[in-house]
Amino acid sequence: MRTRNQRQRRNVLKSLGAGATVAAMSGCTAMSSSSGRYSRQYSRNPWVAPRISMENVIREVVGHRPYRPSGFVVRSEKLDAKTIVHNYGHGGAGITLSWGSSALAVRETLGMEHREAAVIGSGVMGLTTSRLLQDAGWKVTIYTRDMARHTTSNVAGGEWGVASAHDPEVSSPAFKSQLAFAARIAHHAHTNLGGADYGIHWTELYNLSDRPFDATPGSYDHLYPYQTELQPDEHPFDSPYVRVSLTMMVEPATFLRRLTEDFHQAGGAYVVRDFKDKSEFVAMDEPVIFNCTGLGAGKLFGDTEITPAKGQLVYMPPDPAVDYLTIGGGSDLLYMFSRSDVLLLGGTFKVGDYSTHPEPAETARMVAGHQRIFSSFG
Ligand SMILES: Cc1cc2nc3c(=O)[nH]c(=O)nc-3n(C[C@H](O)[C@H](O)[C@H](O)COP(=O)(O)OP(=O)(O)OC[C@H]3O[C@@H](n4cnc5c(N)ncnc54)[C@H](O)[C@@H]3O)c2cc1C
């Protein structure tokens, strides 16, 4: 019987397109030649391997993805005279889904005459919900325990990927279509904001696998242009199966800072407040309250399904010459994202783990795993 963590890790890898996980690398084609001989699918730059070593580690960070196996919650309910609109539980895909899920949340207000809202939370969901409300003419106040830079949203890796928002073996068909809808809206919104201003850019993503990729077209393939499977003589990775596509990288610190500025410029106000119980909402001035509290929604609203999925990232100095991302390439979850602020290694998704400390063994695993992945670059 597979544990929930094992099943989730397998689903994450599957939805990332990394295929099944196998430790043995016996089927690998050894790439001893220089990576300079391979051309790139999209970029015109040469291949450059990231400089990965324990000495280069500048920081290790931990965040708790607000994970619900059956998927995120967007719905409204009455609490005395107030309308509460929920928008929480996006697991490992909150940056990705932000605009889409928040558009669904704002849609819950259709037909209302009110134009004044409280938004609880200033992570990516609180900020995108607030901005969409402001665009529709609402007066918005954000009430939050933590400002954006102290949220889980600011810990995210930032790859635009729908993976790990839910457990496909648990979530309903209705949720899956809601997810597809939110992904489509979010994709449009993020592409509209592309550029350094919002910290969003397109980049090559290489999925590395020890097993053939699933031949069935994925539901989100159309959102990843240039998707191509490469032959062993077309890439420098020491991995038997490699698939390239283009994806967006959303740099969380830049994105959140810019959303916060936009919120202020549109007249939004902030109140720092830690709500202990949902009964406190009844006494608020605003008639409509958006619950964008991520993991905090569990305690506030008695949602027993939401649980942390602990993620650890290892930061190294940024390297602009590394202009691509990798996912996969080992017996466990591994990824390397090159951002303008850091080059990061990731690869943990520990469901139910509330601990907040970085684990040295995970750092060592991520560093060694990526050293092996890039050892064939020559
Ligand atoms: C290691 C890691 C890597 C990730 N990588 C990616 C990725 O590559 N791509 C991607 O799309 N997503 C990624 N994610 C997931 C993403 O970070 C989350 O899905 C997203 O941040 C959730 O946003 P949120 O606004 O719902 O929650 P949060 O960012 O947690 O914000 C919640 C807000 O609610 C407030 N709050 C909570 N409780 C209360 C209370 N009682 N009273 C007042 N305020 C309260 C908090 O202060 C905070 O402001 C990653 C996450 C982690 C940890």
CATH of span 4-22+32-66+201-250+308-377: 3.30.9.10
Confidence of residue 261 (pLDDT cuts 50, 70, 90): very high
Confidence of residue 128 (pLDDT cuts 50, 70, 90): very high
On the question of pLDDT at 303 being above 60, the answer is yes
Separation between Cα atoms, residue 154 and residue 303, nearest integer Å: 24
Average pLDDT over residues 91-99: 98
The secondary structure of 118-149 as a DSSP string is EEE--SHHHHHHHHHHHHTT-EEEEEESS-GG
| 347 within 8 A of 332, measured Cβ to Cβ | yes
On the question of pLDDT at 8 being above 80, the answer is no
Using the atom order of ligand 1, give the atom closest to the CA of residue 252. 17
Average pLDDT over residues 246-273: 98
One-letter identity of residue 205: L
Mean pLDDT computed over every residue of the chain: 90
- By the 10 Å C-beta count (0-12 exposed, 13-18 middle, 19+ buried), 284 is classed as middle
| 42 within 8 A of 226, measured Cβ to Cβ | yes
Q: Which of 62, 98, 145 maximizes ligand 1 atoms within 8 Å of its Cβ, making it the mutation to test the pocket?
A: 145
On the question of pLDDT at 322 being above 90, the answer is yes
On the question of pLDDT at 60 being above 90, the answer is yes
| 100 within 8 A of 182, measured Cβ to Cβ | yes
- By the 10 Å C-beta count (0-12 exposed, 13-18 middle, 19+ buried), 164 is classed as buried
pLDDT at residue number 221: 87
CATH 3.30.9.10 region(s) of the chain?
A: 4-22+32-66+201-250+308-377
pLDDT at residue number 28: 31
For ligand 1, the distance from its centroid to the CA atom of residue 33, given in whole angstroms, is 43
CA angle 296, 114, 175 (to 5 degrees): 45
pLDDT at residue number 36: 59
Confidence of residue 42 (pLDDT cuts 50, 70, 90): confident
CATH of span 69-158+252-305: 3.40.50.720
pLDDT at residue number 3: 52
CATH 3.40.50.720 region(s) of the chain?
A: 69-158+252-305
Pocket flag, ligand 1, residue 90 (CB < 6 Å): yes
